[in-house]
Structure 1
Amino acid sequence: MSNTTTVRIGVLGAARIAPNALIAPARDNAEAEVVAVAARDRDRASAYAQKHGIGRVHGSYEELLADPDIDAVYNPLPNALHARWTLAALDAGKHVLCEKPFTSNAAEAKTVAEAAEKSGLVVMEAFHYRYHPLAQRVADILASGEIGTLRHVQAALCFPLPKFSDIRYNRDLGGGAMMDAGCYALHMVRLLGGGEPDVVSAHAKLHKPDVDRAMKADLVFPQGHTGALTASLWSRDLLKITASAVGDKGRVNVFNFVMPQGYHRLTVRTADGKRVEQLSKRPSYSYQLDAFCGAVLRGEPILTPPSDSIRTMTVIDEIYRKAGLTPR
């Protein structure tokens, strides 16, 4: 909990995701201010800062972390660097909003979680969709018992990424479809399923050895219902962003659970008929920043703490093993 009224945030890296994920939402949030950016190339950081109206530039990540006028850092670095720089930020006394996936694997997630617990600082994984009212509405419908006892849940996130030089295809940087698109699908399946699933089987399509361009997995939950996920960066499933839960009294279908601000559709079917709901068009990233600031400034609870990240990464590791690949 902070004794200030504003969270001053520094960005690690001149990342493409930061303008939508943080910089734009911060402009409309009285409790957040993006005050600095750091990059390995200072000229690149300077150009980025000028373009996005960021006041200070640091020539290294270490320099940014040493800045006493920064309360928190946003970590959108490549997956393989998430643990290292989140730990460094904690050592520097900074709160952290870390992009998903939280770390490269479950062992790293446990290490970061332990450091976060000891520090007393806020560490939050940036599953922004989870903070949008759509995700909570789906969870509430399932908890209400409206569709009865769960039988099966599933989620898919597939989109085309034909630029094979992208870091998301780089094994050394924690790449792979399961790490990128798949972590969203798995997180949603865990939300729908209401527990921690075991991996029954997994099948990957490879871009190159040990780098998946697509992944499918079958799951089972302790309560007995089954689950499934599909993730793809390049496959015949060019574009698919869906989730569903089937119970013995009905079903829930969700279109575009990841970016509901663009367009989304929540459909509930029971013996009473069909109902379509649409919720807020406010960006999921804005809700996420609200939650982060609330946690830092007032100690409010978050939905994606490191303990949740460990559970996600544990299943991702097992999916890779069941697919005959090695965890990142």
Structure 2
Amino acid sequence: MTDRVRIGVLGAARVVKQALTDPAKSAPEITVAAIAARDPARARERAARLGIPKVHESYEALLADPDLDAVYVPLPNALHAEWSIRAMEAGKHVLCEKPIASNEDEARRIAGVAAKTGRVICEAMHPLYHGLFDRVAEIMADGTIGEIRHVSARVCFPVPNSKDIRWQYPLGGGALMDLGVYAVAVLRALAGADPAEVTHARAKTRVPGVDRSTDARLRFPGGATGRIKTVMWGWPVFSFTGRVEGTKGKLTVRNPIAPQAFNRIVLETGGKKTSEQAAKLPGTYTCELNAFAAAILRGEPLRTGPEHFVPVMGVIDEIYRRAGLPVRGASLSARSE
């Protein structure tokens, strides 16, 4: 291990530029060193475009590269668990795109392999590494809004292209999978706890088994309630909001999933409304890469390790069951009891 983490990329997905190569320029302990794709020609094209120095002819060859410390996995959802596990078993640390697994069972298997191999595993839930959530945590801790009564998160973004992988059940598609992981992550961050149970859920589908929208009600320890809404096709078209209602007031977070673009924290207490903005820079992806490197090089804790992604996938699974849809990774013809 050097004083930098050398990362190889599994796949030539569009998100690599936004989530890795561009923010790595501002992350002093990260080097993007190699890439591999199913189509080697596409890997070479992407490497030239993004300035990645080495191209491997296969995923297996990249995992066997002794000059790499870690792997970034931006593959379709259904492949996240398989290649995260294979990477850790090959001795690599892993930064995997969200959702890190198709379901809770897969998430637990990933966590188990991480514990066995001693490798760092991080779900790329980049918003949680931004200073916006540090500031929200400070406000929640000082008792400004009192005891929490209700927490909600709404994440809505249109995906009109019916051929997009997010509409394909075998690849782990669905509004809850693509956007719901953000909503559950925001809900946990605002509540400071995991939901005790999912009390109700309903979903609308656009293609068999694939939700275009979900609406779920939850209950937290202590009696507080929660709600998440995710929309990939329908109304509202755009919405990125988290809210906490307490015994003394209300806190609203605008754009919690992309605070580097814009954000706002609005407090309503004692009949008064105030607002503030957390610093936009560094961006969420750079913050995430810095934290990933610190975990590998110095053993610093991560916000989105197994203690985060295992319960998140448990909530996702239960919402699907409550809504009468199969969990991802199950047979499309199967329906949960």
Normalised-by-shorter TM-score class: over 0.9
Q: Quote the offset at 1:202 in angstroms.
A: 0.6
Sequence identity of aligned pairs in percent? 50
Code of the residue aligned with 1:287 in structure 2: it is C
Which deviates more, 136-145 or 213-222? Answer: 136-145
Find the residue that maps to 2:108 and give its secondary structure: helix
Code of the residue aligned with 2:183 in structure 1: it is A
Code of the residue aligned with 1:278 in structure 2: it is Q
- Deviation per CA, 1:238-271: give whole Å up to 9, x if none: 0000010000101100110000011111111111
Question: Of the candidates 96, 102, 105, which is equivalent to residue 104 of structure 1?
Answer: 102
Q: Structure 2 matches for 1:127-206, cutoff 5 A?
A: 127-197=125-195, 198-206=197-205
- Deviation per CA, 1:210-257: give whole Å up to 9, x if none: 110111101111110100001011112100000100001011001100
Q: Quote the offset at 1:135 in angstroms.
A: 1.3
Find the residue that maps to 1:86 and give its secondary structure: helix
- Which residue does the alignment assign to 2:334? none
Q: Structure 2 matches for 1:235-250, cutoff 5 A?
A: 235-250=234-249
Q: Given the two structures, how large is their TM-score scaled by the length of structure 2?
A: 0.95
Which structure 1 residue ranges, 5 or more long, are not aligned?
A: none
CA distance in 2, matches of 1:143, 1:225: 16
Q: Quote the offset at 1:326 in angstroms.
A: 0.9
Q: Quote the offset at 1:186 in angstroms.
A: 1.0
- Deviation per CA, 1:170-210: give whole Å up to 9, x if none: 10011100000111011111111222211011110101111
CA distance in 2, matches of 1:43, 1:35: 17
- Which residue does the alignment assign to 1:22? 20
Q: How many residues get paired? A: 326
The yes-or-no answer on 1:296 pairing with 2:296 is: yes
CA distance in 2, matches of 1:100, 1:138: 22
Find the residue that maps to 2:184 and give its secondary structure: helix
The yes-or-no answer on 1:325 pairing with 2:336 is: no
Find the residue that maps to 1:85 and give its secondary structure: helix
CA distance in 2, matches of 1:240, 1:298: 38
Code of the residue aligned with 1:193 in structure 2: it is A
Question: Of the candidates 51, 54, 68, which is equivalent to residue 53 of structure 1?
Answer: 51
Q: Quote the offset at 1:306 in angstroms.
A: 1.4
Which structure 2 residue ranges, 5 or more long, are not aligned?
A: 329-337
Find the residue that maps to 2:13 and give its secondary structure: coil
Q: Quote the offset at 1:275 in angstroms.
A: 2.0
Code of the residue aligned with 2:305 in structure 1: it is P
Find the residue that maps to 1:229 and give its secondary structure: strand
Find the residue that maps to 2:68 and give its secondary structure: coil
CA distance in 1, matches of 2:271, 2:235: 36
Code of the residue aligned with 1:284 in structure 2: it is T
- Which residue does the alignment assign to 2:335? none
- Which residue does the alignment assign to 2:268? 269
- Which residue does the alignment assign to 1:310? 310
- Deviation per CA, 1:138-186: give whole Å up to 9, x if none: 1221122110011100001101110010000110011100000111011
- Which residue does the alignment assign to 1:230? 229
Q: Quote the offset at 1:272 in angstroms.
A: 6.8
Deviating beyond 4 angstroms after TM superposition, the runs of 4 or more aligned structure 1 residues are none
Question: Of the candidates 56, 61, 64, which is equivalent to residue 62 of structure 2?
Answer: 64
CA distance in 2, matches of 1:135, 1:216: 24
Which deviates more, 277-286 or 5-14? Answer: 277-286
CA distance in 1, matches of 2:271, 2:287: 33
CA distance in 2, matches of 1:168, 1:207: 11
Code of the residue aligned with 2:167 in structure 1: it is Y
- Deviation per CA, 1:115-158: give whole Å up to 9, x if none: 00111111011110000000121122112211001110000110
CA distance in 1, matches of 2:178, 2:270: 37
Code of the residue aligned with 1:32 in structure 2: it is I
Code of the residue aligned with 2:310 in structure 1: it is I
CA distance in 2, matches of 1:271, 1:18: 46
Which deviates more, 97-106 or 275-284? Answer: 275-284
Q: Quote the offset at 1:274 in angstroms.
A: 2.2
Code of the residue aligned with 2:318 in structure 1: it is E
Question: Of the candidates 9, 32, 36, which is equivalent to residue 38 of structure 1?
Answer: 36
Which deviates more, 24-33 or 264-273? Answer: 264-273
CA distance in 2, matches of 1:150, 1:236: 28
